[in-house]
Structure 1
Amino acid sequence: MAEIAVSFALDQLFPLLRDKARTLQSVHKEFKDVKDELESICAFLKDADTRSAAEDDDGIKTWHKQLREAAFHIEDLVDEYLIYQHQWPRHHSGIAALLCKPASLIKNLHRRHRLASDAKDIKLRVRGIKERSERYGFHCSSRERRGVNIYDTRMASLFMEESDVVGLEAARDELVGWLVEGTADRTVISVVGMGGLGKTTLAKKVYDDTNVIASFDCHGWITVSQSYTIEGLLRNMLDQFYKERREAPPTVDLSRMDQESLIGEVRSFLQQKRYLVLFDDVWNVNFWGEIEFAVFDNKKGSRVMITTRSMNVAEFCKRSSFVNVHNLQPLTQEKYWELFCKKAFRFDSDGRCPKELADISFEIVKKCKGLPLAVVAIGGLLSTKEKNAIQWRNLSENLSSEFEKNPHLSGITKILALSYDLPYNLKSCFLYFGLYPEDYLVNSERLIWQWIAEGFVKQEKGRTLEEVAEQYLTELIHRSLVQVSIQVDGRVESCRVHDLFRELIVRNMEDLSFARFVSKEDQSPPIAGITRCLAIANSPSDFIASLSSSIRSLHIFRVEELSENFVESIVKTCRLLRVLNFRDAPLGHVPENLGKLLHLRYLSLRNTNIRTLPKSIGKLQNLETLDLRQTRIREIPKEITKLKKLRHLIAYHLNFKVDFRMSLDWEKGVQMNGAVGSLTSLQTLCLVKANHGGVELLSELGKLKQLRSLALSHMKREYGTVLRASISGMCHLETLEISATDENEVIDFPIVSSVPQLQYLRLRGKLEKLPDSIQELRYLARLSLSYSKLGDDPLKLLQDMSNLMHLLMYDAAYEGKSLHFQERGFRKLKELTLKNLYGLNSILIDRGALPNLKRLKLEDIPQMKKAPFGIHHLVNLEDLYFVDMPNELDESIDPSGGQQNWIINHVPIVYIRHKVGPKFAVFDTRVIRHSRSS
């Protein structure tokens, strides 16, 4: 995977060489020569990476390692060069240079000589590496894939006994229905999921179902995999059709037919037949384009079924066919325990887990996270072991190494590793998940900003880097490599990787010197050699000696103490850092010389004890993201206005120690100083106190044309005109949050009429009325109102908003007694929260209202003694929350005798929660479960 390192090195060199007016012309020439050599090497890298992974050849692996290290040295040298340029400006030449202090002049001349010498050495090294590439016979045109032997695993999936199939019953029934019933048009049915979920097992059970067999005139099962030819697939299809129908093959030799002739032969055979063709294990997104003309639409209810790890493969079929997609999910806890017991105790204990092994067995199987392939493999391995708790405990503690070396488990790694064939930019983004602890929910916004800071994201015309990075994340999700944990308005808020994928990532990123994750449980030797990214979940002081200039990003996780010596060592040693993440660390101060980290692009001090920022922060000319959430910083120094590349500035504090209900003061913003308008690259700015700077500050905001998200607190009515003028020029603004100085201050609502492209609007303050102009926000997906003190039912104006998906009204947003959701209103709304509405006593829901509502939450509405009338009309409701509601309501919906229980009987899960004690968000929760009517 030298491709990653070399591509990064080239990315560094290209912008450097575009500017011809360089101080060090000798270094510039050497860099140009290095760039030319690396570009020629890039042609060989695909073949080299493949052979390095597939062949046990020390020469190839050494070549690969040398190239990667050379690329790292190039990257280091370029960054050192840029630091030198910053310290030795262009105007220091001629007489001006002679006037410099002699000692400083001698020091800089020495550094210039060293940089030129290092660049020349690297050029010679790269040329030598290129010559060795020819010696090992790499071919730039090589497209051969070297697969792994997964024959046994696939055979097991195809010939699994019915009694061994666990947890797939509902999915099987759904797929059988899609195949047998439905339209006469050809339909493509795709089963999508990560490797090892049981896609092939499920597909085989569906394919062999008696109703399916009886419903089609002919059937074909075609295994595609990563290496295939269309001609080979077509010949395979024809062979199966002829054998099944016991028909004689054509007189023409199929092996001599070209693709066009074979397509014609297949079409001719299928012309009058209702057919089912199943393509198992499809990887290529263009596969459907290659095969669709053979499996054509004969209007007889024919079906094409596909199993794939890639959602893109499934979606590509939509261009010319009806498509149904089944996203296969991991097994539930109940089902994966059942499957494990069947495998581990099949010939012992009547298929039941002995009591003395129950705890350790459950601990082992939990690590599989519902992945059937892993459950089956581990269960099979343990079935060969003596039923001894000590041996099983030992296996559990060393499961990571067992996956790598144990032949019973190696198939799991091979299956998962197949998904690892990614473009280098996606590969580095995927590897980055290894820097987060196991089971860590990764915020996608933070992840995207870090990818950008690392240089993984490539600029595309007409799109921001954030938009490109979001597409990268979507691609990894569609390839079933990353799991979505929380999704809002179609955007991923948080995600994670399966623990077994993380094991694969950690091994690869360490082998490649890409990254290292060290924790309290880590028994590996001290960090040595080159490490680009370092994550520490341990006592950081233990790693002071391991800090080096090669580190590009440093992440601190879940540490209990953080010495000043360690923090000072970071600035002193890690001069080339791009990412510095102190989130949740016990950090009490930021070094005054922080400004020496000239390459720093991402700095997170979130949830630390930092009170002030050093003035040297103004020297961080490359800083793109500054995250100060939940710190004690209340004022941003004016030096920050020098940061022309700053894209995201987030600074606010939520005081969870106070009762936030009916209080605007629990959310605190920061004071901005200086000419904020100079931060012209800003896309995110929150939370800023509008009353510090007032009209002048709000006028400065008008210069920030790139803003996507803006949050202001302490707004006054008198600022409305200036703010309206400022945001009218923010043509990219998607999120706007405005809080008044107090609950009686009126927010001048018409300010939003100048930003019709808004997607999220949050208003905290009094509104004289909800104006008709809110309907002009046709892209609005989320609306949050609090302290609005509206007297008229606001639903009449909101119900026809075409894209509104989330509505939150809380803390006296509405002071009326009733709310009426009318027929055909709120067609897209998915989530509704009504909270702290102290005058509300009834809610009426007409039939046909809120047809897509998934979640309804009612909290602390003391006058509401009955559940919403008409709630039984919400047929798609999945989660229903009653929080701190009157006892009369709770009793009325109680499943043992509540008179209104019938109206919520269709909801899968109903929560009844009551706050316990003075602490924030501590509740006693009761769950009422109902079966789905379907």
Structure 2
Amino acid sequence: MKELGENMVKHCAGLPLAIVVLGGILATKNNSLNEWQKISDNVKSYLKRGKNQGPEDVLALSFDDLPPYLRPCFLYLSHFPEDYMIDVDRLIQLWVAEGIVSSKQEERDNGETAEDVAESYLMELVERCMIQVRERDVTTLKVKTIQMHDLMRDLCLSKAKQENFVFIVDRSNASSLSMIRKVRRVSVHEFFFIQCIKSPNIRSLLFFNQFFSEKVLEKSLPLELLNYVEKHEVWNPLYWILATPVGCSRLLKTWGIWRYMFNNFKLLRVLNYEEGIRQNFAGWKLPSDIGNLIHLRFLSLRGFDFQWLKLPSSLGNLRCLQTLDLRVYRRLIHVPNVIWRMEQLRHLYLPLEFRSRTKLKLGTLRKLLTLVNFNTKNCYLKDLINMTNLRELVIIRPFNIENFNEELGENPPIVGSKYLHSLSIVSIFWTGTQPIDPRHLAHLLSSCTSICKLSIEASMRELPEYHYFSSHLAYVRLVLCEFEENPVPTLEKLPNLRILEIERIFKEKEMFCSAQGFPRLESLSLGRLYDLEEWKVDKGAMPSLQRLRIWCCFRLNMLPEGLRFITTLKELKIESMPKAFRDKLEEGGEDFYKVKHVPSIIFQDCDYSTE
């Protein structure tokens, strides 16, 4: 087997990617001589019939070795531009919406969903080294973002073109497109007029560039107007553009793009815009014709900037939607109370701030897995009890429990899902928001028995007692809470807490970690604790700590004596701290003995004096 392996490596011609991919193929086989011999014979066969007779053929073999269910998953990656950082959650949602991974594969008895199946497919591609992992979740270590190597992407594009899997609009054809016909999927990397597509059978449209090109607009603007804007350095030229007849023309052109899509692509399943949260002009308003797309499974309007702050009620016609992203650029947009009709919804992203004539009814969304930007002002808190499959919940702005009883046990449960693993509460970005009542938070936490991630960015007087927290909690992030009492005595009792990030959460001068505190904590970040002067750590505290980060704690005099007993500490990162603090910790400094056992000590931006 050693000789076989060496011979196969020779065929890779020294290309690291080919060697790694070949290893990925072998890793999926039984570790037997017969299996390795088959792969070796296949490599030789490819080299004999291939034109390049080089490592590219090894990459091609990796595709042909894929089982049938993985091939469309791999080919779908051809949609994304070169060097694009692909968000795994969004990719999986697209796979499910396209039917590449069917929701019919769900097994409700054990809670497994189509998304779980899709994630297992993704991991198979990772193990075969056909995609590169760029970021993992800090708690679960699940893959969050991926990328494709240039050579592997070339293979993906080539195979996708052979199978007419997707039509890519890029620089090579965006300016000279003839009428696009007989195409099911279109991925737009460069702006072009959507009217070029004449195929009524199109199933998906993905945009990776501006929906309406500024360059196209500039070509139609009078030169005098452009010179005026440039000369006077007008902060927002959009105002001047809309104040001219050309601006009206721009609105009409954008309106025409929307209406053309909604009236000609009635079999559309996916309409996605992937340019992040950057503002993107989308015309006067979203036409009500969107209600024609009754087969739509995936709709993302994220980052779009509509001038009319009202979404059409015809959205309620989209009964097949599985993913709906309404995080538009404008705040205070009106959301009609029609989402309750979309009973197939699995992932719902509401705007950060929105209006509605009545509270949104969401209790019918029993298949929901992701709910982002829920708030108790515009939504019914009682609807959460019906979402028995919910995995992730983000609550923003006001969180209040109406008719709350003083005795916590007398209040009905809030969350009905036993699968909820991530809870975030955010309200620090809005002025005038009242602090969260700790009793309300305690009652919410008491019904979240399975969460392993908790993030709170909201003003609170105090943290609930530790027994209200899930015993599964592995990650806690607290930001700008401004507690009246130090929360560390509560946090250090959490039995499975591995990662803790706290930032500007209290104003006390001292912080104390007791001997049995934080038994499984591996990573600790302390930031912007502006009043903290002394930190004490008992011997025996944080026995599993591996990474410690301290930043912007300007009044902290020194690191605690107890750190020298934490032999597991591998990395100490000191950022934006006074030079005197750094000098104490460097070799020869008075506190160096506390950290001399730490293999990696990093100082960053610690050159200023407090005097």
TM-score, structure 1 as length reference: 0.51
Partner of 2:288: 592
Shift of 1:871: 4.7
Partner of 1:818: 510
Backbone CA RMSD of aligned residues: 4.0
- For 1:198 and 1:539, the matched residues in 2 are separated by 35
CA contact (8 A) 2:497 2:518 kept: yes
Partner of 1:411: 54
Partner of 2:263: 572
Matches within 5 A, 1:544-583: 544-559=195-210, 561-562=212-213, 563-564=253-254, 565-583=256-274
* Structure 1 counterpart SS, 2:151: helix
Partner of 1:536: 188
Amino acid of the structure 2 residue aligned with 1:154: V
Q: Which runs of 5+ in 1 are unaligned?
A: 1-148, 166-192, 201-224, 227-280, 292-305, 310-402, 654-667, 915-923, 926-934
1:282–1:835 distance in 2 versus 1, CA, 3 Å: closer
Worse-superposed segment, 589-598 or 630-639: 630-639
- For 1:757 and 1:484, the matched residues in 2 are separated by 27
Amino acid of the structure 1 residue aligned with 2:191: S
Shift of 1:447: 0.9
Partner of 1:494: 145
Partner of 1:174: none
- For 1:437 and 1:632, the matched residues in 2 are separated by 27
Amino acid of the structure 2 residue aligned with 1:805: R
Amino acid of the structure 2 residue aligned with 1:578: R
Amino acid of the structure 2 residue aligned with 1:766: M
* Structure 1 counterpart SS, 2:386: coil
* Structure 2 counterpart SS, 1:857: strand
CA contact (8 A) 2:12 2:18 kept: no
CA contact (8 A) 1:715 1:747 kept: no
Partner of 1:710: 393
Partner of 1:765: 459
1:686 lines up with 2:380 in the alignment: no
From 848, 866, 869, give the equivalent of 2:558: 866
Shift of 1:650: 1.0
Shift of 1:734: 2.2
Question: What are the Cα deviations for residues 779-827 of structure 1, in whole angstroms up to 9, with x where unaligned?
Answer: 112222234444554334333534323222223x233323334456434
Question: What are the Cα deviations for residues 479-534 of structure 1, in whole angstroms up to 9, with x where unaligned?
Answer: 22222211112222111222211111011111111113222255897575533221
Partner of 1:324: none
- For 2:490 and 2:412, the matched residues in 1 are separated by 25
Partner of 2:43: none
1:795 lines up with 2:488 in the alignment: yes
1:282–1:732 distance in 2 versus 1, CA, 3 Å: closer
Shift of 1:473: 1.5
Partner of 2:66: 422
From 480, 500, 504, give the equivalent of 1:807: 500
Worse-superposed segment, 732-741 or 544-553: 732-741
The number of aligned residues is 527
1:443 lines up with 2:142 in the alignment: no
- For 1:499 and 1:431, the matched residues in 2 are separated by 14
CA contact (8 A) 1:846 1:873 kept: no
- For 1:608 and 1:501, the matched residues in 2 are separated by 32
1:472–1:194 distance in 2 versus 1, CA, 3 Å: farther
1:910–1:726 distance in 2 versus 1, CA, 3 Å: same
Partner of 1:481: 130
- For 1:547 and 1:898, the matched residues in 2 are separated by 73
1:780–1:772 distance in 2 versus 1, CA, 3 Å: closer
Matches within 5 A, 1:596-745: 596-610=292-306, 611-629=309-327, 631-634=329-332, 635-653=334-352, 668=353, 673-692=359-378, 697-712=380-395, 713-716=397-400, 725-739=412-426, 742=433, 744-745=435-436
TM-score, structure 2 as length reference: 0.75
Question: What are the Cα deviations for residues 315-335 of structure 1, in whole angstroms up to 9, with x where unaligned?
Answer: xxxxxxxxxxxxxxxxxxxxx
CA contact (8 A) 1:781 1:805 kept: yes
- For 1:555 and 1:498, the matched residues in 2 are separated by 21
Amino acid of the structure 2 residue aligned with 1:431: L
Amino acid of the structure 2 residue aligned with 1:819: M
* Structure 1 counterpart SS, 2:268: coil
Higher helix share: 1
CA contact (8 A) 2:11 2:55 kept: no
Partner of 2:106: 460
Shift of 1:627: 1.2
CA contact (8 A) 1:651 1:670 kept: no
Matches within 5 A, 1:120-199: 154-155=9-10, 195-197=18-20
Partner of 2:167: 516
Shift of 1:728: 4.6
Shift of 1:622: 0.6
CA contact (8 A) 1:759 1:781 kept: yes
Shift of 1:448: 0.9
Matches within 5 A, 1:5-404: 154-155=9-10, 195-197=18-20, 281-284=26-29, 286-287=30-31
- For 1:837 and 1:670, the matched residues in 2 are separated by 36
1:630–1:859 distance in 2 versus 1, CA, 3 Å: farther
1:720–1:735 distance in 2 versus 1, CA, 3 Å: farther
Partner of 2:121: 472
Partner of 1:837: 529
Amino acid of the structure 2 residue aligned with 1:684: T
Q: Which runs of 5+ in 2 are unaligned?
A: 40-46, 214-252
Shift of 1:753: 1.4
1:154–1:683 distance in 2 versus 1, CA, 3 Å: closer
CA contact (8 A) 2:93 2:323 kept: yes
Amino acid of the structure 2 residue aligned with 1:773: H
- For 1:551 and 1:491, the matched residues in 2 are separated by 33
Question: What are the Cα deviations for residues 134-158 of structure 1, in whole angstroms up to 9, with x where unaligned?
Answer: xxxxxxxxxxxxxxx9997633679
* Structure 2 counterpart SS, 1:425: coil
Matches within 5 A, 1:847-858: 849-850=541-542, 852-858=544-550
Amino acid of the structure 1 residue aligned with 2:453: Y
- For 2:169 and 2:544, the matched residues in 1 are separated by 45
1:872–1:424 distance in 2 versus 1, CA, 3 Å: farther
CA contact (8 A) 2:499 2:524 kept: yes
Question: What are the Cα deviations for residues 96-155 of structure 1, in whole angstroms up to 9, with x where unaligned?
Answer: xxxxxxxxxxxxxxxxxxxxxxxxxxxxxxxxxxxxxxxxxxxxxxxxxxxxx9997633
Amino acid of the structure 2 residue aligned with 1:479: R
Amino acid of the structure 2 residue aligned with 1:619: N
Shift of 1:464: 1.4
Partner of 2:222: none
* Structure 1 counterpart SS, 2:305: coil
CA contact (8 A) 1:534 1:555 kept: yes
Shift of 1:876: 5.7
Question: What are the Cα deviations for residues 524-576 of structure 1, in whole angstroms up to 9, with x where unaligned?
Answer: 975755332211111122x5313522321111113273551333322122221
Partner of 2:218: none
Amino acid of the structure 1 residue aligned with 2:188: I
1:516–1:831 distance in 2 versus 1, CA, 3 Å: farther
1:197–1:849 distance in 2 versus 1, CA, 3 Å: farther
Task: Give the % identical residues.
Answer: 28
The structure with the largest alpha-carbon Rg is: 1
CA contact (8 A) 1:739 1:765 kept: no
Amino acid of the structure 2 residue aligned with 1:196: I
